Amino acid sequence: MPPQIAPAIAPASIVLRPARIADILAIHQVRKAAADALTSQFGNGPWSSVSIISTAERALSGRTLFKIVDGSTIIGTLTLTPLRIGFYKPDWFADAAAKALYLHSMSIHPQRQHDDIGRQALEQVEAFAGQQGFTAIRLDSYDSDAGAGGFYESCGFVQVAREDAMKTKLKIYERIIYV
């Protein structure tokens, strides 16, 4: 079982916990609601398609699927892995040899997106990463109006590259963790 984030490091109200198979449907519903909101606002794009099968695969793969909960309600999700993203180039990053944690598919339910949930979740990811000996967090965001690049920058991530991966324009970000 992956290590859990201790509630003691959790900011007020939300907690980040490893997801269980029983959480898959609720996590899928959050991801779908977020995708539908982006599609409604920005039109069809790579953000428009969410498969329950891919959600389940994330939970069963070498990655760790997390749920973001408020009380007993799942209001968000994200995936963490120590495995480098295949198209990421080492020379993009401040220290290519740093022990990095890679964040994927962060989704917050649209009804909670302006409640500081994403920022609180990233604070917990950083605390978790530091506890596990990681010194960097890396991620990508759509290079479009539908992307969350501005949000990640406001949370201290630095854009290190732009890439066209699988016909999707992305911005690549990194945050160095000082432990």
Q: What is the pLDDT of residue 179?
A: 64
Q: What is the pLDDT along the chain (179 residues), one digit of tens a residue?
A: 344 443 333 445 799 998 888 898 999 999 999 999 999 999 999 899 888 777 777 666 656 889 999 999 999 999 999 988 889 999 999 999 999 999 999 999 999 998 999 999 999 999 999 999 999 999 999 999 999 999 999 999 999 999 998 788 999 999 999 86
Query: Domain 13-176, what fold?
Result: Aminopeptidase (3.40.630)
Q: What is the pLDDT of residue 62?
A: 56
Q: What is the pLDDT of residue 53?
A: 77
Identity of residue 77: T
Q: What is the pLDDT of residue 141?
A: 95
Q: Cα–Cα distances in Å, from 158 out to 92, 94, 139?
A: 11, 10, 10
What does the alpha-carbon distance between residue 64 and residue 1 come to, in Å, rounded to a whole number?
10
Q: How many CB atoms lie within 10 A of CB 167?
A: 6
What does the alpha-carbon distance between residue 118 and residue 121 come to, in Å, rounded to a whole number?
5
Global pTM reads 0.87
Query: Helix crossing, 24-42 with 52-60: angle to 10°?
Result: 130
